[in-house]
Every structure is written in C-alpha cells, then in structure tokens.
C-alpha cells in the first residue's frame, strides 16, 4: 500500500512536494521518496537535482526553501531619559562590509550627544533599512546583518532554460504600402510685428549672486537645541551683564613656578581654568543667590556646586559638568577638565555628564575674544565669561607698568539677582585670581 502511494506521489511531483512541506519546513526534512520506492537522506538541494533543468518544479522548490535564518537587526539603542528621538546622521559602513560584534555602523545625532548604533552580531551588512537624515526612535531597525558571507547572485535555471529553449522569433514580412504623393500648399507668411527696443537694466538694481554658488544643508539637531535653549533664555530671563578686569600676574606666576612639580606629582598640567573654578566656588559660597534658581513662585537654593564648562567642538557647543567642585582641589579639577574635554571633542561624552550644573564658565579667550556678553544656560541663573589676556599699561603704586589683564563678564538673571550681589560676586573672582593666597587663608 505504501509503495503504491509513493508511486502515485512520484507521478505527481507537485503534490509530493507540498505533502512533504506539510510535515515541516523543507530545510528540516531529511528523508525523501525517489522513483523506485527508494528513500533518500540527502539534503533537499541535492535531491532537487533529480528534476530536469527545464523543470518548473525546481524553480518553485528554490523559492520555498530559500530562507537563511541567520539575519539579525541592528536597532537604535536607548538614548537617555530626556531624549525620545534622534536623526540618523551618517552610516559608518556600506552594504557588504564586514562588521564585528559591537562595532559601530551608524551614528545617531540627538539634541545633546552623538550615539553609535552597534552591530549585535559579527557578520556582513546585508542592507540598510533607514536613510541618512531620517528621524529615528529607540528600537528602530537601521540595518540587517547577515552572519554568513554574502554570495554572488546567479541567474535562475528556469531563466536560462527559457532563453535557450525559446525558438527564434520568425520575422514578419513588412507590407509595402503605396503612398500617394501629397502636394504641399504654400503657406503665406504673416507680416512681422515691429520689434520693440529691449529695456535696459537699471544700474540701481541689485545684482544677486547665482543660486549655484549657495549651499543648503539641514541644521544639526545639536545646533537646533542650542538655538532653542538660548532663545528661550533671552525670552524668559531678564538678562543683565556686569564687567570687571583682572590682573593675571600672580596666577600666571604661580602657574609658571610650580608647573613642572605639578605635572610630576599629579600627571596633569596646571592651567588657568582651575584657578577660575576655585574662585567661582568661593564667590558662589559668599553669594548663594547666584547658585539658586527660580522655579515658578519659589526660589531653590542649592547646597552643592556643580560647575558647567562650555566646550566648543566641531559639531557644536556642549557643556559638561564638574560635579561637587567645592570639594575638589586644583589637581582634581584639572584632571576632570581634561577627561571631559577629550570626551566632548571625540563625541563619546554621555548625557549624564552634561546634565545639571548650577553655574557655567565660558572661556572665549582661547579663541581671542576680548570682550563679550555671554547668555545664561537655562535653568541656571548666571554665567561667567572669561576672555583673552592682553598686556596693557596699568598704574601700580603710582607707576605705569605693563600688566597681563583680562576682562571678565557676569551675565545674570535680574529677576532673581540684584546688581549688588552680581558686583560682589565678580569682585570676589577678581580678588581670588589676583591673590590666590586668599584661598589658603580663607579670606
């Protein structure tokens, strides 16, 4: 009975094929009945060679059994508590490239940082499922990774068969039609209207440059975020700036005398920023209102001091935070500044390292700025601006001598901070920088 049933299946290959498929995926079936009631345990692709090349069953079986099962998706990772989406900035790889586990294949640009999309498995990039410039959310599929090596695409046997077995087309004889010559009627030309003189361009008209010399690029998300926050700062805060100047002689002398010993002991260079941070900590402790913030109808006084440092990077301005700066010494501050600055420049800084901050210091002097009015970084209430050091003639003890001078500026929210507190704070910065010994004596 079984042999009779098998012979009937052999005479109906299509029915046999779908019957085998009903017991599981063809790739998992290991026994096949062949002509002569024999049983075969070879893989299905070898069994299919039994059918002639011109058979259509082979084409059908190829389409049903072609399933790799080794494809994995690369998705957008979690980007932070306050970030819900980002822009697919660029692909670091191309389709067909080899990737390793956790190797970055794309970069997502958010409002604050740039996040890498890593490959979940080692393999080859089969295709990208998103485009550069798309807005993506955590969990969005970006690429498909194949764990096996890519294979060359071949023409299906059925296609080759059709091209070989198709008889040549029989040429169709063209019918010769007798054409009757047509006599063309001459067309009378209409009289031309008198030409009007071309109006001359007025010399006063502005000559705009051609559009070919302009480039339009989408604004990065980081730049959009900075623009929004700073404009909100202008619209919300009552901004006012007060200025002072600082004699940098003593701080620069301190740095010059102890720079070698400082590097030898702490492994980091002694800079001017650590001196200003220590001075800002002292000023915030003397004027705690500048470290406070308005929240609705309340004032929140902070009993901790987290100093934000504005860092300019090729992708835009970022503001990493030095936590608990009031409990750090010069060496600890310098080490933290170097670590955060390196992360900011190579794009590896995290969102947590930029969150918070009670007061910001911006050093425009590294770019040559002589004087500026910095804008507050919300939700803080003040920001200190440093500028370039310029040798200027100053009157010291009745004599005019050259001194390295720096202008400093404090922009503050006048809704919360009065001019008295702002001037006292800036004066404290000046006193500590000009005489760092005050920090030792707590004066």
Where helices occur in 137-271 by DSSP H, the ranges are 157-165, 221-236, 249-266
Catalytic residue among 414, 431, 435, 442: 414
CB atoms within 10 A of CB 251: 22
Where helices occur in 313-418 by DSSP H, the ranges are 330-346
Strands 389-396 and 321-322: unpaired
Query: Distances in Å between the alpha carbon of 109 and those of 74, 80, 186, 377?
Result: 17, 13, 71, 21
Task: Give the C-alpha separation, 406 to 386, whole Å.
Answer: 7
Query: Distances in Å between the alpha carbon of 364 and those of 308, 331, 382, 434?
Result: 14, 23, 16, 20
Dihedral sign computed on CA atoms, order 21, 44, 72, 90: negative
418 is catalytic: yes
DSSP-derived letter for residue 288 is G
> Angle, to 10 degrees, between the axis of helix 2-11 and the axis of helix 13-21?
110
344 and 313 in contact (C-beta within 8 Å)? yes
Query: Distances in Å between the alpha carbon of 273 and those of 50, 277, 340?
Result: 80, 6, 13
Catalytic residue among 418, 431, 435, 442: 418
Residues designated as active site: 414, 418
């Amino acid at each position: 009975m079984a042999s009779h049933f098998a012979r009937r299946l052999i005479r109906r290959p299509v029915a046999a094929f779908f019957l085998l498929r009903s017991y599981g995926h063809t790739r998992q079936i290991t026994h096949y009945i062949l002509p002569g009631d024999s049983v075969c345990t070879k893989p299905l692709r070898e069994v299919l060679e039994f059918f002639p090349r011109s058979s259509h069953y082979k084409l059908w079986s190829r389409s049903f059994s072609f399933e790799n099962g080794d494809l994995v998706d690369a998705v957008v990772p979690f980007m932070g508590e306050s970030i819900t989406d980002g822009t697919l900035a660029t692909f670091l790889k191309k389709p067909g490239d080899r990737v390793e586990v956790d190797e970055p294949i794309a970069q997502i640009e958010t409002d604050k940082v740039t996040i890498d999309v890593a490959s979940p498995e080692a393999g080859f990039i089969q295709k990208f499922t998103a485009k550069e410039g798309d807005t993506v959310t955590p969990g969005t599929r970006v690429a498909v990774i194949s764990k096996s090596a890519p294979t060359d695409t071949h023409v299906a046997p059925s296609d080759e068969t059709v091209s070989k077995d198709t008889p040549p087309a029989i040429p169709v004889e063209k019918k010769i039609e007798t054409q009757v010559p047509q006599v063309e009627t001459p067309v009378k030309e209409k009289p031309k209207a008198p030409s009007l003189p071309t109006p001359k361009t007025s010399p006063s008209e502005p000559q705009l440059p051609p559009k070919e010399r302009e480039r339009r690029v989408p604004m990065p998300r980081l730049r959009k975020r900075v623009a929004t926050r700073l404009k909100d700062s202008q619209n919300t805060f009552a901004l006012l700036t007060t200025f002072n100047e600082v004699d940098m002689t003593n701080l620069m002398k301190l740095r010059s005398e102890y720079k070698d010993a400082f590097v030898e002991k702490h492994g980091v260079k002694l800079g001017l920023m650590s001196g200003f941070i220590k001075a800002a900590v002292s000023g915030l402790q003397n004027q705690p209102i500048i470290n406070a913030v308005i929240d609705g109808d309340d004032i929140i006084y902070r009993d901790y001091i987290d100093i934000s440092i504005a860092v300019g990077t090729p992708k835009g301005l970022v503001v990493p935070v030095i936590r608990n700066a009031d409990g750090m010494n010069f060496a600890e501050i310098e080490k933290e500044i170097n670590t955060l600055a390196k992360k900011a420049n190579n794009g590896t800084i995290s969102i947590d390292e930029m969150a918070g901050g009670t007061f910001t210091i911006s050093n425009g002097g590294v770019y040559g700025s002589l004087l500026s009015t910095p804008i507050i970084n919300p939700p803080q209430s003040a920001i200190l601006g440093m500028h370039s050091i310029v040798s200027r003639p100053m009157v010291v003890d009745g004599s005019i001598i050259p001194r390295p001078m720096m202008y400093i500026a404090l922009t503050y929210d006048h809704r919360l901070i009065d001019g008295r507190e702002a001037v006292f704070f800036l004066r404290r910065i000046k006193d500590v920088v000009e005489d760092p010994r005050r920090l030792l004596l707590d004066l």
